Amino acid sequence: MAAYLCAPAVIHGEHSVKTEEIVAEVHGRHPDAAWAPRVDGIAASTGIETRGWMLPLEAAVAPGSGGGPGSAGPAREALVREGFTEQDADRVIAALDAVPAPQTVQERTAPAWDAVQSYGERAARGALQIAGLDVADVDCLITSNSTTPALPGLDVALANRLPLRGDTMLLPATQWACVAGTRSLALAADLVAADPDRVVLVVISEALSTTYQPADDTLESLIVRLLFADTAVAAVVTGRPRPESVLRLDASWHHTLPGTQDLHRLETRADGTHFVMDRRGPRAVQDTVTAMWQWLRVRYEDDPAAWHPDVLLAHPGGTRVLEYMEQTMPAEWPSGLLRYSRDSYTTGNRGGAAVFDILRRAHDAGQEAGSRAVLYAAAPGLTATALEGEWL
């Protein structure tokens, strides 16, 4: 399968949002929620003190424009028809106008979609510069973004913004979500295996902050508010080694758990996108980890005692699964394999961009040539992808 990966470009959300700001906003909006006394403890347990968003917190919590131009007139007429005096109808309309309306899907998504495109372009140009290539060298573009749906999508937007050659293959993957980092690399490796002269550019740009829904009063919604960060990442994959290549990808693995499609999901409602989580989710993710360990055992069954990864670049979505991974690793494996994953998570869950961010941190810390790396991610579905390779 050998494919060669250049170091990724990582563009973090430029608006720093502190956990204490989110906690204050939640306390002010939901003071009587059953979980209100637990907010501070839950926030502290995430280990996240700040995260970067493409748009400021104020953009997420601002009221919407209401019913829109001209909506008050028909409502007033309906009240009069039902027996209200004109004065009473005016008072009712004025009172309704004073109630903050939630933002609409368009109000939440439109500015985020603009940001996703801009950040994606910056990441793409950064990745090409790192790889020592030009936009004219790109033969295939793989893109992923799950929280700002659009048609045409990010692939076409970047093809025009960069711009790419007219014969560049465009492969959008808008629903890969958290698994986008690993799965896009696996797809890129397959593409260059078929044609080693191909140059594949991968771009993942996620505005996960659009799932911040101020009106939601569930415990799960509180957790979503605290976890997500916005990031754009990009990297170049080639079929032949380049001076700029940092990691050779040797094998990939995919796994999907049946009957788990409702554990994590995006729902589009009148006020925007909601990320819904089931408390059974972490246990199901752990099942994919167990399956990955089995894949690695079979892959190295000739010498299982001697082989181990030197670094594990894993995005499992939360600290509970990171802990499970450490608990279920073979006892003879070295400690600290997940240090870059934990470091990345301290500034938020980046979804599909996470593995590239973790990879960048490992690369910047310095890795010895010949060291083995395993990349892993799980996503709503539940579905998982892992890759195994060697640092160059």
Give the C-alpha separation, 13 to 15, whole Å.
6
Contact (CB, 8 A) for 345 and 231: no
Give the pLDDT of residue 68: 47
Give the pLDDT of residue 72: 62
Count of alpha carbons within 13 Å of 232, Cβ hemisphere only? 25
Give the pLDDT of residue 82: 76
* pLDDT tens digit sequence for 99-127: 567 788 788 889 999 999 999 999 999 99
**Least trusted range by pLDDT, from 145-154, 176-185, 195-204, 266-275:** 266-275
Give the pLDDT of residue 69: 47
| Mean predicted confidence (pLDDT) in 46-68 | 86
pLDDT at 132 over 80: yes
| Mean predicted confidence (pLDDT) in 349-358 | 97
Give the C-alpha separation, 90 to 95, whole Å.
9
Give the pLDDT of residue 85: 85
**Least trusted range by pLDDT, from 14-18, 212-216, 384-388:** 212-216
70 — phi, psi (to 5°)? 85, 0
Give the pLDDT of residue 22: 96
The DSSP result for 39-77, as a single string, is: HHHHHHHTT--EEEESS-HHHHHS---TT-TT-HHHHHH
Establish whether domains 3-59+103-238 and 246-391 are of one fold. Answer: yes
CA 166-150-255 angle, 5° bins: 90
Question: For residue 152, what is the DSSP state?
Answer: S
- % residues pLDDT > 70 (the chain): 95
| Mean predicted confidence (pLDDT) in 368-391 | 95
pLDDT at 278 over 80: no
Give the pLDDT of residue 98: 55
pLDDT at 280 over 80: no
Q: Which two tokens stand for residue 198?
A: 């191909």
- With bands split at pLDDT 50, 70 and 90, how would you rate the model's confidence at 95? low
Residue 106 CB partners (closer than 8 Å, separation 6+): none
pLDDT at 277 over 50: yes
pLDDT at 391 over 50: yes
Residue 372 CB partners (closer than 8 Å, separation 6+): 307, 308, 309, 310, 311, 388, 389, 390, 391
Give the pLDDT of residue 37: 94
| Mean predicted confidence (pLDDT) in 66-74 | 57
Please give the CATH architecture assigned to the domain spanning 246-391. 3-Layer(aba) Sandwich (3.40)
Give the pLDDT of residue 304: 65
For the chain, domain boundaries: 3-59+103-238, 246-391
Instruction: Share the mean pLDDT of the chain.
Output: 90
Question: For residue 349, what is the DSSP state?
Answer: B
CATH of domain 3-59+103-238: 3.40.47.10
| Mean predicted confidence (pLDDT) in 359-374 | 97
- Per-residue three-class SS string for 154-176: HHHHHHHHCCCCCCCEEEECCCC
| Mean predicted confidence (pLDDT) in 344-368 | 97
**Amino acid, res. 3:** A
| Mean predicted confidence (pLDDT) in 173-199 | 96
Give the pLDDT of residue 321: 85
**Least trusted range by pLDDT, from 109-113, 141-145, 304-308, 370-374:** 304-308
| Mean predicted confidence (pLDDT) in 253-275 | 84
Residue 45 CB partners (closer than 8 Å, separation 6+): 319
